[in-house]
Amino acid sequence: MTPTLPTGCVIALLGAESTGKTELARALAQRLQERGIATTLVGEYLREWCEREGRTPRPDEQRAIAEEQTRRIDAAAASGVVVADTTALMTAVYSELLFGDTSLHADALAAQARYAITLLTALDIPWIADPLRDGDHAREPTDALVRAALAGAGLSFAVVHGTGGERLCNAWNAINSIAGSEGRARARGRLESKPASWSWPCEKCSDPECEHRLFSDLIGRRDDTPSPPSSET
């Protein structure tokens, strides 16, 4: 099945380091092109920047990197469908994780809200070391921050599990399901300037909101946990 995707549709891939974003983005772009859909793959500008400079960015350099990522996605969207191998939201999350800086979130989330489909790559594939990566220990905190940012902004996302061809198949099924839902909403005249809210059942349990509810429950339990009494001497 081939999804119906209008010009300007952005499929945005988010996820922690070494979760297969780049491989999946390339595979999705290739499949869309093979199905006759004009598609541009927009790579990760942060990696390009690090490779060019030979280092990771300082806190004061993060905003320009995030803005360039958004600019490239917007430019590509003017001429067709875009598969974005990460967005400014990942730069914002890294700024929060590494530097305690949340100032990039507002602009990054505003850009993310314009993207039709957001896919979050799960942590179910092995870590692969890379000189530009922080380490396996950073994957879970990064994943948690991405989910919290999306949930806090009310932005829908599909979590993509699986390895190799299975991961591609699950992502493709999610895209078809989401595109079909939005197409039906347009036909009923319910879709205006804002994308429809949608949810996608993960292949682990077939519960449409399992990923979102599980994460919300974990956050709720954490917030409800009473602080230990302080000891006074």
Sheet holding 81-85, edge to edge: 39-42, 81-85, 10-14, 117-121, 158-160
**pLDDT tens across the length of the chain (233 residues):** 889 999 999 999 999 988 999 999 999 999 999 999 999 999 999 999 999 999 999 999 999 999 999 999 999 999 999 999 999 999 999 999 999 999 999 999 999 999 999 999 999 988 776 666 566 678 999 999 999 999 999 999 999 999 888 999 999 999 999 988 665 444 344 333 344 444 444 444 333 345 444 444 444 544 554 444 444 43
Confirm if 35 and 2 have CB atoms less than 8 A apart.
Answer: yes
Residue 1 has a pLDDT of 84
Residue 7 has a pLDDT of 93
- Spell out the domains of the chain, with CATH numbers in brackets: 10-222 (3.40.50.300)
Residue 134 has a pLDDT of 64
- Its pTM stands at 0.78
**b/e per residue, 67-89, with b = 16+ CB within 10 A?**
bbbbebbeebbeebbbbbbbbbb
